[in-house]
Structure 1
Amino acid sequence: MARISAPAIVILGTGALATARRIQALYAGSQVHALQGRVEADVSYNELGAHLRELYARGTPIVALCATGIVIRCLAPSLSNKGVEPPVLAAAEDGSAVVPLLGGLAGVNLMAREIAAMLAVPAAITTSGELRFGTCVLNPPDGYTLADIGQGKRFVSDLLAGESTRIEGEAPWLDDAQLPRSASARLAIRVTPRAWDGREDELVIHPRSVVAAVTGVDGGIVARVREALDSHGLAPLSLAALLASSDRMADPALAEAAANLDVPLCFALARPEDGEPPANLLHAALRIPYETLHNDAVAGVALALAPLAIDADTIGRKRGRLTVIGLGPGSADLMVPAARTALNVATDILGYDTYVKMAGPLRADQRVHGTDNREEMQRARHAFELASEGRAVVMVSSGDPGVFAMAAAALEALESSDNADWAAVELKIVPGVSAAMATAAQAGAPLGHDFCMLSLSDNLKPWTIIEKRLRHAAEADLVMAFYNPISRARPWQLDKALDIVREYRAAQTQVVLGRDIGRPGSTLRTITLGELRSSDVDMRTMVIVGSSTTRRFGNAAEGREWVYTPRWYE
């Protein structure tokens, strides 16, 4: 059946954690989501209904360890198109029951059987077709797709009403299905790359067995590919990949065309012995038997038809991708979804060992390249080398990758290189919640007006520059967020920085100290500049020095204090 992406395993209390971890072991890359403040898990959430609806909207499979009624009520506002819903299951906290709820066309019953088998309980399958035939006819395996889901539902309804069927084409996944078969049946399951002609007595399943190669004609790629398919009676859904020359890897028109055709984009470098373009690309990229159906050098399109579905991962090579992400301050719920998505699809993950561990859980098949925190340029170059081989690489930073972190190193490595393969890599930078932002949010809004971020480390810049910037920022009455405030190698620098700031700021200026914000054991303090001593700070402390307008007040109802900088000046 179709491959199931990593599910979110959602729990409410500690009683479900053991069962959740057992289910997690079944699915590489899956994570346990738990109610914040109640259970320590991989991802925390604040409100169950909103969280389930967000997962559902993203198409994430859901295994909820709670009552089915809770899940139904939470997701009811989101239910619309049955054809695009992800698998949704409910399971008992103790693992005594597994109930598939939604996603019959997305493999929910398969998931239910897998989880139930692991838990040694029966799955509560209620789908008529699966109970009768032992499989979901409308859920073909990877590499195959239904021509028309509406016709498929009518077809299964006819089978349930007593009709028999015959199978035309290769459908080995149906060999063990208990389908009513007859060589003379009116109904037929037809596995073919040819376009469906609309006959209602056929369930047409298209193998993705066609590759379209395109060459240098600019514009209209999608239209030209579809015209070529149509000229041979091939269904667009039979297309397995779009293939182009390796020297066009960075061409946005190709990426847009592949997205519009909903197929992977692959590349190959043709040689003289591969023949005439564009069919020479097919010869260079395909290592399986195929028939060249079309080779139009003028239109720049060639079509290859294979006897079986083609795995796009075996065609030529992919454009490499390097994504530089920020994990946020450390808590999984403060990592932006785009960063988690990049981690989920990565083949290789690079970063400082501590940060790579924070990025987990990772799949067993993902290659991890942990390094020392001082090897930034070597790490960036290694990342480009891996990505230029066609791999999906993620380089990990804490906080935001563009704030004293790896994004700048990646760009510097790229600018200083004349490697064409590096230049062809798809580079993306995903923002994260910086330490300054996380600390400020815990305290209130001390960065509510103009502010600056300064690193007190002189490893990469001279101390004279740091002093000059401190003096200008203090004189300008900017709120200042200090990164790398102190270390064993430079214990004097924070005191020196504070001496400069005190020349321009009053002793009662508010200062926020956030240590390990977003991580276990975090602490938050607000003191005054006059009270602040370097012994209050270590390398894991974010220091936010307020402006002349930054203020602090208590909230008796909550028993806490808030710090903020007004957005106005008197």
Structure 2
Amino acid sequence: MSGGKIMLVGIGPGNYSHMTHRACEAIAEADVVVGYVTYIKLVADLLEGKEVIRKGMTEELDRAVHALERARAGKKVALISSGDAGVYGMAGPTYEVLFQAGWTPETDVEVEVIPGASAINACAALVGAPLTHDFCSISLSDLLTPWPVIARRLDAVAAADFVVALYNPKSGRRTQQIVQAQQLFLRHRRPDTPVVVVKSAYRRRQNIEFTTLDKMSECDIGMLSTVLIGNSHTFVRHGLMVTPRGYANKYALDGDGSAHAGEKRGRSLSTGLLGWTENLRIDHAEGESIAALAQRHSLPADYIEMVLNAPIEDAAVTADESEE
């Protein structure tokens, strides 16, 4: 029998209206639907007449194995994940199982990854615009990742001033990970840094709680929660969490929108790479050591040395840059 197809479907936050058209199509055309029991319930209205394989929370590899078995029997299989299948979802473990089984894209089982809105997108949409500048996500689950690895990542992003989304922040057994994450962030961030905890985004028991970093671990947090931690510029106003993009660094926001002195529309900031490099060379020429420059800018000394030694022509201005 000819091979079938595995469709790795991200169903978004779980509300039907937030699923993509392709995600709905994929489930509709599937012969078999495989997923975690809670996710199966979220799409129950779409499953009439289909073989449904329900699996538990820690049975991700079993889900992938069942999907491959059914696909090799010629079936179209929708393997569903909440959010996006490629963000802490089933795409990764499925590819691992496929590769272990000797699968290649040229073999008889076709694979399609169908994107969906991840929890970070859904939660951000509910609370304002917290992700308008650089952000990252970290899972606090240590079921598969050693805690020292997670802790180093938390410490690094806290120091780097990212907006951070914490996935899998707490469970019945894992209660101290969120506390230690809070302690690591407080080493680098103000206690009043805005934090919002979103539980069950766009689902029946949705709950949103605004708080601050120093009170974060006191909130009602569980496995259905996502925790958004702001950066040093994030603010909360009228019940909305907003992270500025940085336009105020260049433009007068309360006037005609003209650029500040020394700034040019469509060009890098005067403190962007080119301007910063020029000033760095001036400071070094005037006697400031590489070690002192590294300390002042909180950057590695060998990086400062590399920038100082780079050919000046490498810093030539090229085409105008987009500010989107």
Task: Output the TM-score relative to the length of structure 2.
Answer: 0.73
Aligned to 2:245: 567
Say whether the 8 Å CA contact 2:8–2:80 is kept in structure 1.
Answer: yes
Alignment of 1:118-197 (within 5 A): none
Q: CA deviation at 1:535?
A: 4.2
Question: Structure 2: how far apart are the matches of 1:404 and 1:489?
Answer: 20
Identify if the C-alpha distance between structure 1 residues 475 and 381 changes in structure 2 by more than 3 Å, giving closer, same or farther: same
2:67 matched to 1:389? no
2:185 matched to 1:501? yes
Identify if the C-alpha distance between structure 1 residues 457 and 363 changes in structure 2 by more than 3 Å, giving closer, same or farther: closer
Question: Residue type matched to 2:27 in 1?
Answer: L
Instruction: Specify which of 199, 210, 227 is matched with residue 543 of structure 1.
Output: 227
> Counterpart of 1:386 in 2: which secondary structure?
helix
**Which of the two has greater strand per residue?**
1
> Counterpart of 1:513 in 2: which secondary structure?
strand
Identify if the C-alpha distance between structure 1 residues 420 and 565 changes in structure 2 by more than 3 Å, giving closer, same or farther: closer
Identify if the C-alpha distance between structure 1 residues 420 and 437 changes in structure 2 by more than 3 Å, giving closer, same or farther: closer
Q: CA deviation at 1:422?
A: 9.2
Say whether the 8 Å CA contact 1:388–1:422 is kept in structure 2.
Answer: no
Alignment of 1:211-230 (within 5 A): none
Question: Structure 2: how far apart are the matches of 1:478 and 1:421?
Answer: 37
> Counterpart of 1:504 in 2: which secondary structure?
coil
Question: Structure 2: how far apart are the matches of 1:420 and 1:515?
Answer: 39
> Counterpart of 1:530 in 2: which secondary structure?
helix
Instruction: Specify which of 407, 418, 435 is matched with residue 91 of structure 2.
Output: 407
Question: Structure 2: how far apart are the matches of 1:483 and 1:504?
Answer: 20
Alignment of 1:232-381 (within 5 A): 317-381=1-65
Question: Structure 2: how far apart are the matches of 1:460 and 1:372?
Answer: 16
Question: Structure 2: how far apart are the matches of 1:363 and 1:522?
Answer: 24
Task: Output the TM-score relative to the length of structure 1.
Answer: 0.42
Aligned to 1:40: none
Say whether the 8 Å CA contact 1:401–1:430 is kept in structure 2.
Answer: yes
Q: CA deviation at 1:472?
A: 0.5
Question: Structure 1: how far apart are the matches of 2:47 and 2:35?
Answer: 16
Identify if the C-alpha distance between structure 1 residues 521 and 363 changes in structure 2 by more than 3 Å, giving closer, same or farther: closer
Identify if the C-alpha distance between structure 1 residues 358 and 549 changes in structure 2 by more than 3 Å, giving closer, same or farther: same
Say whether the 8 Å CA contact 2:2–2:72 is kept in structure 1.
Answer: no
Identity in percent: 37
> Counterpart of 1:342 in 2: which secondary structure?
helix
Identify if the C-alpha distance between structure 1 residues 419 and 517 changes in structure 2 by more than 3 Å, giving closer, same or farther: closer
Identify if the C-alpha distance between structure 1 residues 478 and 330 changes in structure 2 by more than 3 Å, giving closer, same or farther: same
Question: Residue type matched to 1:339 in 2?
Answer: A
Q: CA deviation at 1:362?
A: 3.3
Question: Residue type matched to 2:204 in 1?
Answer: P
Question: Residue type matched to 1:567 in 2?
Answer: R
Question: Residue type matched to 1:562 in 2?
Answer: L
Identify if the C-alpha distance between structure 1 residues 419 and 446 changes in structure 2 by more than 3 Å, giving closer, same or farther: closer
Identify if the C-alpha distance between structure 1 residues 467 and 421 changes in structure 2 by more than 3 Å, giving closer, same or farther: closer
Question: Residue type matched to 1:433 in 2?
Answer: A
> Counterpart of 2:6 in 1: which secondary structure?
strand
Q: CA deviation at 1:446?
A: 0.5
> Counterpart of 2:34 in 1: which secondary structure?
strand
Q: Gaps (5+ residues) in structure 1?
A: 1-316, 555-560
Aligned to 1:454: 138
| Structure number, greater radius of gyration | 1
Say whether the 8 Å CA contact 1:380–1:410 is kept in structure 2.
Answer: yes
* Alignment RMSD (CA, Å): 1.7
Q: CA deviation at 1:436?
A: 1.1
> Counterpart of 2:181 in 1: which secondary structure?
helix
Q: CA deviation at 1:467?
A: 0.2
Say whether the 8 Å CA contact 2:84–2:117 is kept in structure 1.
Answer: yes
Aligned to 1:26: none
Question: Structure 1: how far apart are the matches of 2:245 and 2:69?
Answer: 46
Instruction: Specify which of 401, 411, 436 is matched with residue 120 of structure 2.
Output: 436
Question: Residue type matched to 1:330 in 2?
Answer: G
Question: Residue type matched to 1:454 in 2?
Answer: I
